[in-house]
Amino acid sequence: MKQPAVTLFWLVILGGVINYYITVSYVTRETEEQIKQSYTEYLTGEKASTLGERQDAFNRALALYTGFERDYSPKNSTGKLYYNIANSYYQVGEHSWAALYYYRAQKLMPRSDKVVHSLEMSLKKLGIVPKEEEIMFRKTFPFHYLLSLPERLQLFSGLTFFAIVVGSFYIWKRKRWLKKIAILATILASVMLLSLGYSHYLAAVEGVLVKSTALYRDAGLQYAKVTKEPILSGNKVEILDVLDEGKWLKIETPEGDLGYVPQEAIRII
């Protein structure tokens, strides 16, 4: 029994090392220079003495940041790039786009008070107050929202790896306390797996309106409008369906109205 357990242990260790090097993202020297240049342009905008210089600097920073986003697709990063993009949009007065990127940053930085405050400031500029029901839901089920998706994935991987290692030691040593630890780690890993499964299969797809738009009864400009007033840009909505090869999306507004909006008016968080 001893030799197979030792072999299994080292295979698990090897697998963990390989997984680490696969999942770790390497930042090239060119990338580092691009990040530094973006930040330099942003600081230049903050220190600018005229409105024109300020706008030019922030627009240059924004172009660099969004180029970096396009090239590296940081959906599973720390969220700092999204936060920097949001700040740049905020500085140039594009508050609906700023709200979109603050929401994206919040998904990856759920415990950041700085992101929450910046998002509130951006929504205030747009005349939008977050729905109280959403806040209460987060208070009722805090665990799922305190950790970002990458953090939950890392915890699941780490707990699974730990459970396998401890389980291997239990097979080798036959100590009851090792068995208890392995069971506890397995339970925690299962909880993380359920959370990941919910995010992947059950969680609502949300988007932000980047420009104000009417809400239509069906997918087309010829159809009647659901509400007299357009939906303000910056509103977060739930995306229910995609139609006409992605040209129209069925949504539910924060007020509970159902309808259709053109694709160019909305971006997925």
Whether residue 147 has pLDDT greater than 60: yes
Integer Rg of the chain from CA: 23
Residue 10: predicted pLDDT? 60
Measured distance CA(16)–CA(199) in Å, rounded: 24
Instruction: Quick: pLDDT tens for 107-139.
Output: 999 999 999 999 999 999 999 987 765 555 566
Which of the residue ranges 21-25, 44-48, 203-207, 264-268 would you say has the lowest mean pLDDT? 21-25
- Average pLDDT, integer, range 35-56: 87
Quick one: CATH architecture of 29-126?
Answer: Alpha Horseshoe (1.25)
Query: Tokens 């738009």 correspond to what residue?
Result: 213
**Buried/exposed 115-132: b ≥16 CB within 10 Å, e otherwise:** bbebbeebbeebebeeee
CB atoms near residue 64 (< 10 Å): 22
Residue type, 82: Y
Distance CA 70, CA 42 (A): 19
Count of helix runs (H) and strand runs (E) in the chain: 10, 5
Reported confidence tier of residue 238, pLDDT bands at 50, 70, 90: very high
Asked whether the predicted pLDDT for residue 13 surpasses 90, the reply is no
> Does CATH number 3.10.20.440 belong to domain 205-268?
no
Q: What gap in Å lies between CA 145 and CA 36, rounded to an integer?
A: 31
Dist. CA 150–CA 108, nearest whole Å? 8
pLDDT at 243 over 60: yes
pLDDT at position 185 is 92
List the domain boundaries for the chain.
29-126, 149-202, 205-268
Q: What average pLDDT does range 18-43 have in this prediction?
A: 66
